[in-house]
Structure 1
Amino acid sequence: MKVAQIFLLCVLGAVLVSTVLCNSPTGPDDCCIDLYSKPINKRLITSYYMTDPRCPLGAAILITKNSRRICVDPKQLWVEKIINFLEYKSL
């Protein structure tokens, strides 16, 4: 009987720990749901950053002159050109 109680207590403890870890508020802040696909003029973009690796969709977030954030696919050629332009401009 004691073995069954200890086993049940261990299972209950594991369930409680897993629910606490799954509801952790330390997840990524900015994740993208959808990606913008049309090319944007590089002169309208002031900066960019990449989404957190824990996000389900890997993306670059472009920030425009009027502070809009646009999610884009970093593998697109036009996005790579914008990122290279911003990196070169910051030197």
Structure 2
Amino acid sequence: MRGMTVFALCVLASAVILSARCNNSSGPDHCCFKHYPVKVPQRFIKSYALTDSRCPVIGVILVTKKNLHICANPKDFWVERIMKHLDESTM
């Protein structure tokens, strides 16, 4: 019986340690997993942010004036144009 108690305590301790490690991860906050396939008009976008290099898909998070977040491909011409426009308007 004592062996079962020790085993149960070890399992519990392992679960607590693994839980703490998972919650303290230093991974990226926002990632794209799929690019939005439709062109979004520039007038709807108020800002953008590049995703972290640790994300599975490289992307740009476009933020609309209604605070919707859209993942887009940074290599698409329309996305490049929006990013350039926003960069120039903040100078």
Q: Sort the TM-score into its range (normalised by shorter chain).
A: 0.7 to 0.9
* RMSD over equivalenced CA pairs, Å: 1.7
The residue type paired with residue 62 of structure 1 is L
- Aligned residue in 2 for 1:87: 87
**2:71 corresponds to 1:74:** no
Distance in 2 separating the partners of 1:90 and 1:43: 15
Q: After TM superposition, list the pairs within 5 Å mapping 1:35-54 onto structure 2.
A: 35-54=35-54
TM-score (norm 2): 0.73
Deviation at 1:38, TM superposition (A): 1.2
In 1, distance between residues paired with 2:76 and 2:48? 15
Q: Which runs of 5+ in 1 are unaligned?
A: 1-18
Q: Structure 1: which amino acid aligns with 2:41?
A: N
Displacement of 1:30: 0.4
Question: What is the count of residue pairs matched by the alignment?
Answer: 72
Moved over 3 A (4+): none
Letter in 2 for 1:32: C
Secondary structure at 1:70 match in 2: strand
Q: CA deviation at 1:77?
A: 0.4
Shift, 1:25, TM fit: 1.3
The unaligned stretches of length 5 or more in structure 2 are 1-17
Between the aligned partners of 2:90 and 2:42, the Cα distance in structure 1 is 14
Q: CA deviation at 1:47?
A: 0.2
Residue 30 of structure 1 corresponds to: 30
Amino acid at match of 2:38: K
What TM-score results when the alignment is normalised by the length of structure 1? 0.73
Percent identity between the two aligned chains: 39
